[in-house]
Amino acid sequence: MKKLQLKNRGSTIPLALIALVLLILMGMSLLSQGLNARVYSIRTSSDIAAQCAADAGLTKALFEMNKKLEVKPWSGKNLPTATSTSMPNCDAIYNYKITGIPGSGYMIESTGISGQNTKKVSCTLKLQGPFDAAIFTENGITLHSSAEVDGHNYGKSDKILKIGTNSTKSGAIDLKNSSVVNGDVLVGTGGNPDDVIENKGTITGETGTLTQEYDMHLMTVPKWLLSLPSGGTIKNDTTIHYAARYDSINLNSGEKITIDGNVVMYVSGDMIIKSSAELQINKDASLTLYLGGDFEGKNSSDINNKTKIPKNLKIYGLDGCESMIFKNSSDFYGTIYAPNADIEMKNSADVYGSVIAKNFEQKNSADFFYDASLRDVSVNDEAVRFVVTNWNEE
């Protein structure tokens, strides 16, 4: 009996050793899996950090190029560059360089580095002006019955015109009966075109959603223009040949302001053109107007751009410009950039150019013609900016 008991006791030791070995092997396997998971996690997070750093470098490069555009005249020398710039709250860094010339375009190459991981992104830059759309608003567009938006000065290679809004509210774009848009209609990011566009008219192009919000940044008056002495208020016949600054314009009935030269003008207050009064831009002349207050062209008033070139009349509404009402007695050739303003075109005459506003309303049966040449801009134009095209990742 004792021998049997001893034999049974001895047989448990190998079993215990086998169980111990199995437990050790299982533990080592679990540790190995945990270690591999940790290594994979580190590599993945490092890879993500490198990608974020590369993207951040490209974004920074774009920002610096647009800051450089604010200095006129443009200089192609000393293009922005960065080396071993640290990312906040992580150990990743980025480098970027910009190459190119204005005529051929610019390219950004950005590299992000985190640990052993490296990511590269590159893109080309396109110069875009403020009048890339025929009509664009922050809130709403209303085209009344029989109003039409069409193209003007178009070539075979020119892209179809577009109108649009940053808004996603129902009915923000209201196309009344018999109105026509011979182009595309775009709504704000995340919006539903079928909901945002109240369409009782005709759209010959496509409807869609913006991929990113359109930047409705406010214009500022050039410092040199601010430094000019004020000429007070214009009420009667006046001819302007050179850059000028005024407190306001309250042009009496039958009077005329004549622009005879390439004039840049700042009006800090309101601008009113009374009945039968006229703002005339002579042939071979141009006007760039920075307007600090509201604008009203009363019945039978006239903004007569004799060049019939929309680029030769640019109106920039500043922060305090909240209302612009036009009752022209003749066709309007010009561009308006007034992101804080509600703009009403009450005239029955046609409009040639582009309008960027808070809200836009085209009344009566007047037509709106977008001039495709407004897309052609240079680095020395006002309110231009670089935008990204042809994005590549490595």
Contacts of 220 (CB under 8 A, 6+ apart): 318
Residue 18 pLDDT > 80: no
For the chain, give the mean pLDDT. Answer: 89
Residue 5 pLDDT > 60: no
The kind and range of the H/E element at 30 are helix 2-69
Nearest-angstrom CA–CA distance, 105 and 76: 11
What do you get for the CA distance between the two ends of the chain, in Å? 78
Q: Please compute, for residue 22, the number of CA atoms within 13 A of its CA located in the half-sphere on the CB side.
A: 6
pLDDT, tens digit, 9 for 90 and up, residues 79-130: 999 999 998 888 899 999 999 887 778 999 999 999 888 999 999 999 999 9
pLDDT, tens digit, 9 for 90 and up, residues 187-213: 999 999 999 999 889 999 999 999 888
Nearest-angstrom CA–CA distance, 198 and 185: 11
Confidence of residue 42 (pLDDT cuts 50, 70, 90): low
Question: Tokens in use for 135?
Answer: 């009509």
Confidence of residue 238 (pLDDT cuts 50, 70, 90): very high
Confidence of residue 37 (pLDDT cuts 50, 70, 90): low
The whole-number pLDDT of residue 1 equals 47
Of the listed ranges 72-76, 233-237, 277-281, the one predicted with least confidence: 72-76
| Region of 225 on the Ramachandran plot (φ > 0 left; ψ -120 to 50 alpha; else beta) | alpha
* Residue extents of the structural domains in the chain: 1-129, 135-375
The kind and range of the H/E element at 39 are helix 2-69
Nearest-angstrom CA–CA distance, 93 and 88: 9
